[in-house]
Amino acid sequence: MADFDIELVGKIGSMALIDREYQDMNYNIIARLSRELRPGFVWVTSGATEIGRLDYLKRTGRELHGTDEENKTDYSAQGQSILMQTYRQFIDSRFSVRQILVEHQHFNDEEKRAHLYDMLCRCPGQNAIPIINYNDPVSYEENRKHEIGRILAERGHAIECVDNDETASQIACLVKCKTLLIMTTTDGIYSDPDDEKTLVTRVGGKDIYELIENVEELQSHCAGASRKGAHGARAKLEYIKEPLKNGTTVIIGSSRYGIGELLGGTVPCTRIGL
């Protein structure tokens, strides 16, 4: 761990937290994963919007009828408290749990980056587990695009955090973690997205340049996404390039397995790194 500030940055996607058959939050998955979280881990969680939508539907018997942007704001505000309450319920009671809501500005502003970095790096020594999500309740697309456009004009580049795959990758870069774990609904990345037998279990290279070339080759086989607003496997592979350049190992695997199983390589997954 000498070369890394944080042991693990993990991320779980929205659909991996939902029981599609019962149209409810999958408490079993959250309970199982929560019991594995410990200090030294930074956890990035999606799910607030969809969990809020399902909760509202259960309580009222109907869905909201606003614009997509309004509904996302209202549902995510409702889902955040449920999501955090559930994590807190199942995480070891000896450990503190800290909710952190981030926006693109926290990665584009050097002072805010430094503040976030310092806070995350204090957590292991304080026996605390940070749980991060994008701050959808106070972020809306038109304003976000305007702010990103201004940053691009000033600097020529900008971090958008268009979804939590990008957020997790930016956190992984910020704290220079040993491992970035992305948990999803599939076993990993496939060379043929329509054939589960084509799971790519290892992507490596003799150096970082060859590794990135191999990642880009794999990107050429990727298409589609699991839900509206998601950006799919190709985007995941794009976001992880910067963590890979820091020496981080990236693992992409299914949420039906445990964190320890995926880290230990005892279950199917895609492992990327030197």
Domains of the chain, residue spans:
6-272
Please tell me the distance from the alpha carbon of residue 216 to that of residue 237, in angstroms, as a whole number.
8
Please tell me the distance from the alpha carbon of residue 172 to that of residue 132, in angstroms, as a whole number.
12
Instruction: Find the Cα–Cα–Cα–Cα dihedral 10, 15, 16, 17, rounded to 10°.
Output: 90
State whether residue 130 is helix, strand or coil. Answer: strand
Cβ neighbours, 10 Å, residue 164: 25
User: How does pLDDT run across 187-208, given as a tens digit for each residue?
Assistant: 999 999 889 999 999 999 999 9
Q: What is the DSSP letter of 62?
A: S
pTM summary value? 0.90
Helix 232-239 with 164-175: angle, nearest 10 deg: 10
Q: What are phi and psi of 143, to 5 degrees?
A: -70, -40
Please tell me the distance from the alpha carbon of residue 36 to that of residue 22, in angstroms, as a whole number.
25
State whether residue 134 is helix, strand or coil. Answer: strand
CATH number (3.40.50.2000, 3.10.180.10, 3.40.1160.10, 2.60.120.260) of 6-272 reads: 3.40.1160.10
CA distances, 233 to each of 33, 74, 76, 220, 255 (Å): 22, 28, 24, 10, 15
State whether residue 90 is helix, strand or coil. Answer: helix
Bridge partners (DSSP) of residue 182 are: 11, 252
Residue position matching structure tokens 């985007």: 235
| Amino acid 230: pLDDT | 43
| Amino acid 151: pLDDT | 67
Whether 224 shows a pLDDT value over 70: the answer reads no
Helix 164-175 with 110-122: angle, nearest 10 deg: 80
Rounded to the nearest angstrom, the gap between the alpha carbon of residue 197 and the centroid of all alpha carbons in its chain is 25
Give the pLDDT band (50/70/90) at residue 225. Answer: very low
Give the pLDDT band (50/70/90) at residue 226. Answer: very low
State whether residue 28 is helix, strand or coil. Answer: helix
Please tell me the distance from the alpha carbon of residue 80 to that of residue 82, in angstroms, as a whole number.
5
User: How does pLDDT run across 21-62, given as a tens digit for each residue?
Assistant: 888 999 999 999 999 999 999 999 999 999 999 999 999 999
Please tell me the distance from the alpha carbon of residue 184 to that of residue 13, in angstroms, as a whole number.
6
Least confident of 86-95, 97-106, 265-274: 97-106
State whether residue 166 is helix, strand or coil. Answer: helix
| Amino acid 223: pLDDT | 64
